[in-house]
């Protein structure tokens, strides 16, 4: 059976820090994996030796591609939306872009962030979550983005939606962390030997290594597992009954 998985992220390095284990697990199952990153990460605090946003964007694009090779990602792409400003983008248009991608690529499984904003409560992560969730549901609706049908696309409903669950929170504002609400997980991926590959993938993001060095002890521990919430499924069942990324997925 041909499995297909789409992972939608906000910044280069999200694919490694948040989803590497799932991407590697999917590849090991023979799945075609796609990572779609909406920004070039040019507003990052950690900038390496770059002197401008454009320089940093070019560096981070190259780092992203290097990491995706380590993760054996089938298709990878970085778009040009403004880093740190996704909340200002036109919701309908950007969601339509994601609907188009889902209808064209027909992933059975879609993954993205939880709505809390992940480890650092980043609002780009929240917006990616909201837009990807809408696209997941709307891609299969005949009323949504009907203009795409004239291009030969058809409604397509992915079978499962997963949110990455932040195993800890790290933000400059301690009060924001205290008020944040966590996404409960339903699926635990134990990475085992994939831990080293995840670390290798994240290490490709040399401009961002300061982040990992600051949280080295925490990061080392978190390489052991990844946590996900089954947010939607074609099967009506308790989320706890879900035991595998492709559990219940059927040929389509």
* SS3 of residue 195 by DSSP: helix
Q: Which fold has domain 4-241?
A: Rossmann fold (3.40.50)
- Per-residue pLDDT of 123-172, as tens digits, reads 999 999 999 999 999 999 999 999 999 999 999 999 999 999 988 777 77
Average pLDDT over residues 5-16: 96
Residue 49 has a pLDDT of 60
Separation of alpha carbons 207 and 251, rounded Å? 41
Domains of the chain by residue range: 4-241
Residue 86 has a pLDDT of 95
Beta strand 160-164 with 109-113: parallel, antiparallel or unpaired?
parallel
- Per-residue pLDDT of 13-47, as tens digits, reads 999 989 999 999 999 999 999 999 999 987 766 65
Residue 215: CB partners within 8 Å, gap ≥ 6? 170
237 has pLDDT over 70: yes
Phi then psi dihedrals of residue 130, to 5 deg: -65, -45
Would you say 177 and 126 are in contact if contact means Cβ atoms under 8 Å apart? no
Residue 219 has a pLDDT of 64
- Per-residue pLDDT of 94-125, as tens digits, reads 999 999 999 999 999 999 999 887 877 789 99
CA-based nearest residue to 26, from 87, 72, 66? 72
Residue 172 has a pLDDT of 75
- Per-residue pLDDT of 191-228, as tens digits, reads 999 989 998 998 898 886 776 666 566 666 667 899 99
Beta strand 32-39 with 109-113: parallel, antiparallel or unpaired?
unpaired
First vs last C-alpha separation in the chain: 10
Residue 44 has a pLDDT of 62
CA-based nearest residue to 249, from 101, 30, 68, 35? 30
Residue 131: CB partners within 8 Å, gap ≥ 6? 86, 91, 94, 95, 98
Residue 48 has a pLDDT of 59
Residue 209 has a pLDDT of 72
């Amino acid at each position: 059976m041909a499995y297909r998985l789409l992972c939608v992220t906000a910044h280069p390095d999200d694919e490694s820090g948040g989803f590497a284990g799932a991407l590697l697990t999917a590849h090991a199952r023979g799945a075609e994996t796609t990572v779609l990153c909406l920004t070039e990460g040019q507003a990052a605090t950690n900038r390496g030796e770059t002197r401008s946003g454009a320089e940093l964007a070019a560096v981070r694009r190259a780092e992203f591609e290097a990491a995706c090779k380590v993760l054996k990602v089938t298709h990878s792409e970085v778009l040009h939306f403004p880093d740190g400003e996704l909340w200002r983008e036109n919701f309908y248009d950007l969601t339509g872009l994601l609907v188009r991608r889902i209808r064209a690529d027909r992933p059975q499984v879609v993954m993205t962030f939880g709505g809390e904003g992940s480890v650092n409560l980043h609002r780009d992560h929240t917006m990616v979550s909201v837009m990807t969730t809408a696209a997941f549901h709307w891609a299969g609706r005949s009323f949504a983005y009907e203009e795409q049908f004239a291009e030969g696309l058809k409604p397509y409903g992915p079978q499962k939606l997963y949110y990455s669950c932040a195993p800890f929170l790290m933000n400059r504002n301690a009060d924001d962390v205290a008020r944040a609400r966590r996404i409960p997980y339903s699926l635990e991926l134990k990475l085992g030997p994939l831990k080293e590959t995840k670390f290798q993938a994240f290490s490709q993001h040399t401009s961002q290594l300061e982040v990992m060095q600051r949280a080295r002890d925490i990061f080392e521990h978190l390489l052991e597992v990844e946590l996900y919430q089954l947010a939607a499924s074609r099967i009506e069942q308790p989320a706890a009954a879900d035991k595998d990324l492709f559990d219940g997925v059927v040929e389509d």
